[in-house]
Amino acid sequence: MCQHQTPCPTADSADRESARLVAHHPEQGWSLLCNGVLLFEDTGELLPDGRVIDPHRPLGTAQVMTAA
Ligand SMILES: [Zn+2]
């Protein structure tokens, strides 16, 4: 899926979050990385093979909660 000159980490990599953003939808709370990983605002992830990664970073106190 990634077509960058220096390939980004794959979705299987522990470093998967350092892949580049290809879509960013802060109003919906998610971003799509070029390796196919969906990254959610709460740091949860949805991998291209359907696996779900639970949120794994504490939210900063300065973060504005957008959920109603
Ligand atoms: Zn890439």
What's this model's pTM, rounded to 2 decimal places?
0.78
State how far the Cα of 59 lies from the Cα of 68, in Å rounded to an integer.
17
pLDDT tens digits along 58-67: 766 555 555 5
Partners of 17 in beta bridges: none
Q: If DSSP codes are grouped into helix, strand and coil, which group holds residue 22?
A: strand
Neighbours of 38 (CB within 10 A): 17
- pLDDT score recorded for residue 65: 56
pLDDT tens digits along 6-56: 999 999 999 999 999 999 999 999 999 999 999 999 999 999 999 999 998
Distance 23 CA to ligand 1 centre (A): 12
Neighbours of ion ligand 1 (CB under 5 A): 2, 4, 8, 20, 34
57 burial level (CB within 10 Å; 0-12, 13-18, 19+): exposed
Question: What tokens were used for 29?
Answer: 């709370």
Distance 33 CA to ligand 1 centre (A): 8
